[in-house]
Amino acid sequence: MSQNEYRNLIAGEWRPARSGKTFSNINPADHSDIVGEFPASGPEDVADAVAAAKKAFATWRLVPAPKRAEILYRAGRLLQERKEQFARDMTREMGKVLAETRGDVQEAIDESFYVAGEGRRLFGKTTPSELQNKFAMSVRMPVGVVGLITPWNFPMAIPSWKLFPALVGGNTCVIKPATDTPLSVYNLVQTLVDAGLPPGVINIVCGSGGSVGNALVEHPDVRAISFTGSSEVGSRVAQRAAANFKQVSLEMGGKNAQIVLDDANLELALDGALWGAFGTTGQRCTATSRILLQKGIARKFTERFVERAEVLKVGNGLDESVEVGPQVNASQIDTSNMYVDIAMAEGAKLLLGGGPLTDGDYEKGTFFAPTIFGGVTKSMRIAREEVFGPVVSLIEFDTFEQGIEIANSIDYGLSSALYTKDLNRAFAAIRDLEAGITYINAPTIGAEVHLPFGGVKQTGNGHREGSEAIEFFTTWKAVYVDYSDKLQRAQIDNAE
Ligand code: UN1
């Protein structure tokens, strides 16, 4: 196995795909840089991995949760030591700038320490029984073998959001990394193995959604699926999983609005909008893709926003001076291009950017210019559909109530932000914005791991990651212990 040839992890062994096929992981900033070759697996590899996870479950579920958690503490410390190397690997395979890939690894570190604490906190409840000399309680049980399907935009953080709570809850896992970013999942799982994770508890199967993802979702021994990706794919995942009543947690798209009221601190709102819209090259599900401007501040904001976005440095994320990296692949560039065409046809006004960057070094990769549309109205597709690129729409409104109404006039509901100094309006917005996350005077991106993460409407199916992930990765058992030494019948009128 050459140094940059990677295999699946099944039952603690590194195995090639049974077919022997591989695919290349390519640096989006420089296509001549091949990060590694990864197995192009199929359903037969998924079957092997699920069998290994099922076998490991028999013993892993019996390891006390505080002991399972100790592995996460050790992994967290190892991740701290390896942070710089893993950030560099991530920038190479995914493109986002080093400051952000360091942040991505940091999010996994935060998650490891936070979830490790859950090992001593997997609380159940006790409650009085309606019968004498009978004890009633609820305890959390593992779900079993869980399938995890993870995206390329947070290649280590999001896998950690799923793997760590699954592990501490006593489950065993099969993970399918995004084909654009498998190396970061390898780095994460290798760290868990080095921290003492037993063989078979996590298995990695690389390959496409069509061959690996579907097989995982349909496998009868996989009890739950946690998916992060587009609403389109999420809907198919849920439909397939429904056939055998599998639990599914879906984390999907967003069309997140930053609302700026006339009384806002203009520079603060600009800082937030630039970071929210162009950080991670707009490729976050929490990215700011609509900026809703109250009329009194709209002109000034628009001028300054364009001025500041124009000088953002786009380039290879390994260069510390670069602020915006490439898009992850050519198909994302196609999507950005398509939405520019749609917006122009709808009559939106192009204020900046509008196409791929191809001169000089840009020619080596998949770069797209930071793009701003003005004169957007809420019914335009550019105002309603997720682009997942550095493309942002400016929409003007008159009253606070209209701002909220426009923010809510979409099918998604992940993140939202309001910039104002008016406390009353801030609290009204917290109540009225239809989103799983609301920020006041902070951008739409930047959720912390110990709060609920997820959204309403077409963003999700009701589950939350972060602080609530343990709810998905455990199942409740009600326990009754009768110490009366006689048959007591609940709900039956017993003669006293
Ligand atoms: C995502 O884009 O899917 O809140 C996750 C944020 C990050 C996570 C984003 N902490 O922007």
Which residue's CA is minimally distant from atom 6 of ligand 1?
Answer: 446
Atom number in ligand 1 closest to CA 107: 10
Structural domains of the chain ordered from first start: 8-252+460-478 (3.40.605.10), 256-440 (3.40.309.10)
The answer, yes or no, to whether residue 1 has pLDDT greater than 70, is no
pLDDT band at 154 (very low <50, low <70, confident <90, very high): very high
287 CA → ligand 1 middle, Å: 8
- Main-chain dihedrals φ then ψ at residue 489, nearest 5 degrees: -110, 115
Q: What is the pLDDT of residue 367?
A: 98
Query: 293-315 pLDDT, tens per residue?
Result: 999 999 999 999 999 999 999 99
pLDDT band at 496 (very low <50, low <70, confident <90, very high): low
Atom number in ligand 1 closest to CA 284: 2
Query: 408-449 pLDDT, tens per residue?
Result: 999 999 999 999 999 999 999 999 999 999 999 999 999 999
CB 222 within 8 A of CB 57: no
CB 206 within 8 A of CB 6: yes
Q: What is the pLDDT of residue 493?
A: 76
| Closest residue by Cα to residue 138 from 429, 475, 469 | 475
Q: Extract the tokens encoding 120.
A: 């001593």
Asked which of 3-12, 177-186, 388-397 is least confident by mean pLDDT, the reply is: 3-12
Burial readout 36-54 (b: 16 or more C-beta within 10 A, e: otherwise): bbbbbbbbebbbbbbbbbb
Query: 463-493 pLDDT, tens per residue?
Result: 999 999 999 999 999 999 999 999 999 999 7
Q: What is the pLDDT of residue 244?
A: 87
Q: Where are the alpha helices (DSSP H) in 328-375?
A: 330-346
Query: 63-97 pLDDT, tens per residue?
Result: 999 999 999 999 999 999 999 999 999 999 999 99
326 CA → ligand 1 middle, Å: 18
The mean per-residue pLDDT over the stretch 164-188 comes to 98
CB 317 within 8 A of CB 95: yes
pLDDT band at 455 (very low <50, low <70, confident <90, very high): very high
Mean pLDDT computed over every residue of the chain = 97
CB 469 within 8 A of CB 165: yes
Ligand 1 contacts CB of residue 362 (under 6 A): no
The answer, yes or no, to whether residue 3 has pLDDT greater than 90, is no
CB 158 within 8 A of CB 187: no
Query: 388-413 pLDDT, tens per residue?
Result: 999 999 999 999 999 999 999 999 99
Q: Say how far apart CA 281 and CA 275 lie, in whole Å.
A: 9
Burial of residue 123, with CB atoms counted within 10 A of its CB: 0-12 exposed, 13-18 middle, 19 or more buried? exposed
Q: What is the pLDDT of residue 494?
A: 64
Please state the separation of Cα 392 from the chain's center in Å. 21
How far from 113 is each of 56, 72, 116, 189, CA to CA, in Å? 24, 7, 5, 16
The answer, yes or no, to whether residue 373 has pLDDT greater than 60, is yes
Q: Extract the tokens encoding 448.
A: 């912390």
Ligand 1 contacts CB of residue 187 (under 6 A): no
Q: What is the pLDDT of residue 238?
A: 97
Burial of residue 67, with CB atoms counted within 10 A of its CB: 0-12 exposed, 13-18 middle, 19 or more buried? exposed
Q: What is the pLDDT of residue 2?
A: 56
Which residue's CA is minimally distant from atom 11 of ligand 1?
Answer: 445
162 CA → ligand 1 middle, Å: 14
- CA dihedral for 51, 111, 161, 366, sign (positive or negative): negative
Q: Which residues pair with 370 in a beta bridge?
A: none
Atom number in ligand 1 closest to CA 445: 11
Evaluate if pTM is beyond 0.75.
Answer: yes
- H/E segment holding residue 34: strand 34-39
- Main-chain dihedrals φ then ψ at residue 282, nearest 5 degrees: 75, 5
